Structure formats: structure tokens, C-alpha cells
Structure 1
Amino acid sequence: MSLSVSSLVLRAKQLELEGIRHLAGRIELVDVIGQLIHALQRERGATSIFLASSGQRFASERQATVESVTPIEARLRELFEAQLAPEAGASARMLSLMAWVVLDLDALAGLRAQTVGHTVTAHVAVTAYSRLIAGLVELIFHVADATLHPGISRLLVAFVHLVQGKEAAGQERAVGAQLFASGRCSEAEQQRVIHLIDAQERSLHVFEEFTDPTLRGRWLQMQLTPNMAQLERLRRSVCTARAGAKLDAALSESWFEVTSARIGEMEDMLVALVHALRHDCDAQIRATEQDLQDSEGLLQRLRQNPPRHSHAVDRFFNDAEQSEAPVLSSLPDGLKDAPGTGAGSALVELLQDQSARLSRMESELDTARRALHERKVIERAKGALMSRLGLSEEEAFRALQKASMDHNKRLLDVAEATLALPDFAFASQVRASTEH
């Protein structure tokens, strides 16, 4: 095909359509990842109670959760394998994240055997499950970050932050269940529960900002249920207990049921978000297909009636700019007062419409990208502090929060500064913050 304006415009629209179809396939991947996270969260919670109670509680429940994971894991492995095909368009980063997930999935059998044999502690088991789930969450963030359609990107930002909030809720369920089942309050685990509650609130705030109004309304209503009130009461009993104080071990099952109900509500919201994502993708595919057909018809007419295009300059430049430009040729008298007429005008309008739409999309995408960028920088800063100073995740985040408040700066600004500082510059401040 010889180079022409029409061939370039049509190819641009074809690429736009291919991109949306490609995204529709990625939504299926995100859906299955979300399902596996949900199943693994249940297995993690049941395992924590089973181990903390020395096998006296949740033996059958734990086995049921293991069986529920198997078919979802198999489906995800199939989708991962499909991403190896060149036409799938998977990036090197995406395949690398998948490799880490598969590595942790392969290690599950050994962890389960250790659980049955009681050769692993509840804390170690919860950490192993959490590492696997963190890899799955990171993969969802990568898919969202690579999305190039504003409406769909906003919903994906809502989705990934709800997934992140739900994972914090899942860890809260596991740690709290472990605390109750052990019958004794551990200060370290108590602080972890407090940190996880705070982490949920941060993620859910972003979810509320980016989700659509209908789902936001449903979510806010869920916060007023009796189950949520009972969860708050149980949280208070954990968070206000003195270190070493006795806890009612029988409440481990109540805790598990109440926190599971909340996580189930989050899962319902994720299902609704996936439905909305698929609906928006399908609608966008239909609209783009129609747009492509309309463009093909217009360009076919243009090819049959070549345009006089020299007058198009006044559609792109103002009068002052035109007066300074050299005159290349003059327009026929009949066109001087009608720059918007004729086949040339139709082509210009097509180009302008496409440019304006792409410009609007880029502006809307910037908002979604900023939310994802902020999360990435904060996570990297936490990781840097954990690596440099040997802090736990909670200690690293508290250090960032304290620096943010002390210097009256945004958390993002503090995180960026942390990544830029040499090891010693932040050390004294962090040590001070973690002592309180």
C-alpha cells in the first residue's frame, strides 16, 4: 500500500481497535487473578487458625479451601501460557512477574505438606501466602498501568486498589484469627492488625475515587451493615488489649466469619467491576468498529474525489500566523469564503476529530496514571527502607508517614526523597520514628 493520508488515518483507527480488543483479553486475565487471590486468601485464613490452634480448629475448612484453589490455579496457568505467543503482546516485565507467580505457586505443595505435618508456624505460613498474593496483585497493577483507554483505565485503577484493600483485609483476617486462636495478645501482631486496617483505608479511598457512582453508592451502603459494626467491636477487642493479655480463643471462629463476610462484600464489588469493565470494553469495541467503517466510507469517497487541500491551513493556524507564512498558491475564488466545504474539509475534520479524541483520552489517562505512579513510588520507598535499615513493612510505612507529617509534605514527596537519599541520611529519622 502506497503512503497516503487515508492509509495513515485508517491504520491509526485499526490500531485503536486492536488495542481495545487486546485489552478485553487482559480483563479475563485480571478476573482469573482476582479469583485466585480470593481463594488463596481463604486458604491463608483457614491455615492460620489450623496452625495457631495446633490442628484443633478448621481442619476440614482448610482442606476445602485447598480444593477450591486447584481449578482456578490451572486456569491461570493456561492464561499465562497463552501470553507466551507473540500476538499476545506481553511485555518482558509482565512475563517476569508471571514467572515469579509460577515459582510461588510451585512451592504451594511443599507449604501445604508442612502445614499438615505441623512443621511450619502460622506466622511463616501466612507470610508465604502473602508473598504469593503480593505477586498476583503486582501483576494486576502492571496490566492496569499498561491500559490506554481512559474510561477503562479508571475502572482498572478502582479494581486494583480494591484488590489491594481486600488483600489487606485478608491479612487482617489471618493475623487476627491467629491472635484469637493462640489465646494470647502479641504486641507485634496487634500492631500489624492496626497497620492493616490503615492500609485498607488508604486503598479503599482510591477505589471510591475512581469507581463509577453506582458502585460507589453500593459500597458506601455496605459500610452501614450490622456485620461491619460487629467487625469494629472485634477490632477494638484486639487493638486495645494489653500485650500478653488473654484472648478468648473461641472468638477466632467469629472473627473469621465476620471478616470473611466483609471480604465477601469486597469480592462482590470486584465481580461487579469486572462486569463493568467487560461492558465498557464491548461498547468501546462496537463504537470503534463503527467509527472505522465510517472512516473507510469517507476515505473511499475522498479517493474518488481528490481534495483541494491548500485551504486547510486556515483550519490549523490563526490569521496572524497565516499572514507571516509564505504564499505557496492561491485558492479559487469560490473557496476563499468557504474553507469548511468540500472533500478536503471532510478529511481535515476527520483528522481533527481523531486528534481531539486522542488528546482527551491522554488527559483523562494522566489522572489514572498518577494514582498508579503514587502507589508504585510509595511501595518502592517502603522496600528501600526495609532493605537499607532492616525494617518491617509496617515500620517502614510508619517512618514515611511520620516524615510526611513532620515536614508537612505529601507522602509521595517523602517517598520520592527517600529513594533519592543515601542510606545514612534517613537512618536517624527512621530509627526515631520506629521507637514510638
Structure 2
Amino acid sequence: MNQQAPRPQSALEWFHYTRRQQQQQLQHLARLGEFATLISQLVHTLQRERGASNVWLCSRGELFGPQLQHSARQVDESLAAFQQWLTEHHALMNGNAAAKLACALWFLEGLSALREEIRILRITPEQAMERFNRTVQPLMEIIPEANDTLSDPQVAQALTALYSLMQGKEWVGQERAVGAIGFTRGEFDAALRQMLVDRIDAQQHSFATFLSLTEPEQAAMFRDSAEATRDIEQMRREACTRIPATPQSAARWFDIQTQRLDALRLIETRLIDTLSAVAQRSLQHTVDDAHPGETALAAWVVQQSSVKAAPVERHLLPLVRQQARELEKLSRELTSLQETLEERKTIDKAKSLLMNHQGISEELAWQQLRKLAMNQNQRMVDIARSLLLSASLWSVTPKR
């Protein structure tokens, strides 16, 4: 029978127990550093395939065919390395991380079906983008969830800086995908413009968090190579001011945003290296002082009980997870907004139909739709759809 370790009783014994727990956490994080690199690479290739898919779909298969095939191969290569690591190190996944992993793998397993729908143009760009988004988000959330008991403040700060940059990079990727839709189609409707603006706002919030936490070297690197360029700002203005776009605009937009994503990917790699280095330094410190005595305990108690010395960084992981939930909520709200705008378009078409065929005002047409909806206990948009579907059967000529 295995003998259990004696329960700590004195302050010094509890201190020793705390140090052992910290060592286990840091050793766990050190092993997960390689996994973070694999996740980063997989997410980056998925972001590329998402953007290329949107150009392909919006151009009805005329543009970005080779780019789409190349990006899909890169995803498959990254996914194979990701799955190989999981086979060898699955025991490192705790419950929360395993839940996120299960969600991510479920969407990844549906990639083949999604690609076939994209290939035969049987899916809209918006639908394809949403399915790619759902695949990427749980992948990114695996990293902080796999370290949910982390207590070292320096490591927590480095991890939060990394996660914030990854979130910002994902919003840049979504901005590229949204812009690809509008520029390839040659126009940005109200829903598409709103989606673009919301993703710009979201990435700025994530990058502000990153810059407040990261080391000066990485902050300088971001400002020099990864902020939105003048060309990006100009094309953003074109998208939001209804300037007619061309297929050449779509290619230019995709290229300059890809350059930005590649720069962010390089910073992301540096942050993973920084996180691993910080964890190794903290781990080495605990190993060097394997049997701390009363003096070390006294210093540690002073540090823990001091308000000024208690770093706020240890609370950053719960906050950044809350941020992730808020961003997910924003995505749902954007989807709802788009559906609302589409419903309004349908109602407006039905109103125009009534106005033309009955020679009535817009206000009266709206009242008729509203009355029909109330009498039949249906939503106005459902009445409008029925009206539009049956319009081809009408024999009534428009009133003059």
C-alpha cells in the first residue's frame, strides 16, 4: 500500500507544500509551451484559409483558387502536428482545457465537409466565416484554461499578454475575412460595415491589454511592424464610406492584412518564448531553494500580506477569460444584428411590392403588413416572406 505524504501542519510545512505546488505548476506550463506554439501555428493557418475562402466564395470561384488549396494544405500539416502532440501528452489536459479541446476538435473534424461546401459554392461567405470562427475560438482558449491554477504573478502576466495578443490577432483575421467579402463583392452593405467596425474596435481593446502587460521589446516590435498601416486605414475608410470596390481592391486588402497577420504571428512566437523563459526562471528559483527555512518563510509572509507587494497580475487570467466570454457574446450579437438587418430588408421589399401593386403609401403598406402579422399571430418578417414568395402568382396589375 502506498503511504500518503504527511499532512502539513505548521506554517513552514505549509510553505514547503506551497513551493512544491508552484513547482508542479511551472513544470506543467513548461511542457505546455510547445503546445502553445502548435496551437498558434494551427490558428494562423486556419485564419489564412478563412480569408482565402471568402475571396473564393465571393468571386464565385474565379479568384484565389491556388491560395485556397495552399492554405488548406498548411492547415492539414499544422493539424497533424497538433494531433501528434495530443497523442503523446493528453494527460496534461485538465477538465476545462479538455472541454475546449473537444469543441475545437469537433469543428476541425468538420473541415472536410466545410471545404467541400466551399469548393462547390454551396455556402455563403458569411456562413463559412462563422464556422471558421467557431473553430478558432476554442483553440485559443485552451492555453489559459490549461493553466487555471497558475499562481506565479510574472508567469500570469506573460500568459495574459500572450492571450490578449492572440485575441487581437484573431480579430484582425476576422477583419480581413469581412473585408474580403465586401471588396470582392464590390460593396459593403450596412451589416458588413458594422461587422468591420466592431472587429476593429475589438482588436484595439485586446491590443491595449497586451501593450499594458508585455515587455518593452515586444511592445516596440508591435508598434513598428504590426499596427494598422496607412494603407489599411485608407481601405477601411473606403469600406465605410461606400466607395465602389473592385476585385483588385480585394487582392490588395488581402495582401496588406496578411502582412500584418504575419507580423503579429512573429510577435506571438516571441511571446511564447518569453512565457517559457519566465516559467523556467521561476522554476529554477524554486529548485535552487528546495528547502526554504524560517527566514525565507518570513520574507514570503511579508510579501503575501503587503497590499503593495501583492501583484494584481495574479487576477489577470480570470479577467482575460471574462474578456473572451464578452468577445464571444459580441460575435453572437453581430450575428443577431445581421439577421435583424436581413429581416428588415425583407420587410422593405414586401412594403415596396404592396406600394407598387396597390398604389398606397409606405406608411399604409407597413400598417397592412403589421395588421396581417397580428391577425395571423406571426412575425412581420414571416408575413413579408410569404408575400414575396406568392408575388409571382399575382395577376393583379400595378395601379397607376
TM range (shorter): 0.7 to 0.9
Out of 138, 143, 147, the position equivalent to 2:141 is 138
State the match for 1:189 in structure 2: 192
State the match for 1:331 in structure 2: none
User: How far apart in 1 are the matches of 2:41 and 2:226?
Assistant: 23
Partner amino acid, structure 2, of 1:28: E
State the match for 1:265 in structure 2: 263
- The higher-RCO structure (CA 8 Å, 6+ apart) is 2
Query: CA offsets per residue over residues 231-255 of structure 1, 9 Å max, x none?
Result: 11111111111xxx63222111110
Cα offset, 1:193, TM superposition: 0.8
Worse-matched range after superposition: 254-263 or 350-359: 350-359
* Gaps in structure 1 of 5+ consecutive residues: 296-346, 396-436
State the match for 2:100 in structure 1: 97
User: How far apart in 2 are the matches of 1:203 and 1:173?
Assistant: 17
Cα offset, 1:370, TM superposition: 5.9
Partner amino acid, structure 2, of 1:14: R
- The 3-state SS of whatever aligns with 2:229 is helix
Cα offset, 1:29, TM superposition: 2.0
Is 1:375 aligned to residue 332 of structure 2?
no
Out of 287, 290, 293, the position equivalent to 1:289 is 287
Aligned residues: 333
Contact 1:195 1:394 survives alignment (8 Å): no
Out of 243, 246, 249, the position equivalent to 1:248 is 246
Cα offset, 1:35, TM superposition: 1.1
Out of 334, 343, 348, the position equivalent to 2:294 is 348
- The 3-state SS of whatever aligns with 2:62 is coil
Change over 3 Å in CA distance of 1:359–1:143 after alignment to 2: farther
Partner amino acid, structure 2, of 1:156: L
- The 3-state SS of whatever aligns with 1:184 is coil
Change over 3 Å in CA distance of 1:130–1:379 after alignment to 2: closer
Query: CA offsets per residue over residues 325-364 of structure 1, 9 Å max, x none?
Result: xxxxxxxxxxxxxxxxxxxxxx432322343455678634
Partner amino acid, structure 1, of 2:283: I
Contact 1:148 1:365 survives alignment (8 Å): no
Out of 47, 51, 55, the position equivalent to 2:61 is 55
Matched ranges for 1:73-92 at <5 A: 73-82=79-88, 84-85=90-91, 88=92, 90-92=93-95
Cα offset, 1:23, TM superposition: 1.2
Contact 1:80 1:98 survives alignment (8 Å): no
Contact 1:183 1:249 survives alignment (8 Å): yes
Worse-matched range after superposition: 157-166 or 280-289: 280-289
- The 3-state SS of whatever aligns with 1:250 is helix
Out of 33, 38, 41, the position equivalent to 1:27 is 33
User: How far apart in 2 are the matches of 1:394 and 1:217?
Assistant: 42
Is 1:278 aligned to residue 276 of structure 2?
yes
User: How far apart in 2 are the matches of 1:365 and 1:174?
Assistant: 33
User: How far apart in 2 are the matches of 1:44 and 1:376?
Assistant: 20
Out of 15, 19, 23, the position equivalent to 1:13 is 19
Matched ranges for 1:298-377 at <5 A: 347-356=293-302, 363-369=311-317, 371-372=319-320, 374-376=322-324
TM-score when scaled to structure 2? 0.75
Contact 2:48 2:71 survives alignment (8 Å): yes
Contact 1:101 1:136 survives alignment (8 Å): yes
State the match for 1:236 in structure 2: 237
Contact 1:45 1:170 survives alignment (8 Å): yes
Identity %, equivalent residues:
24
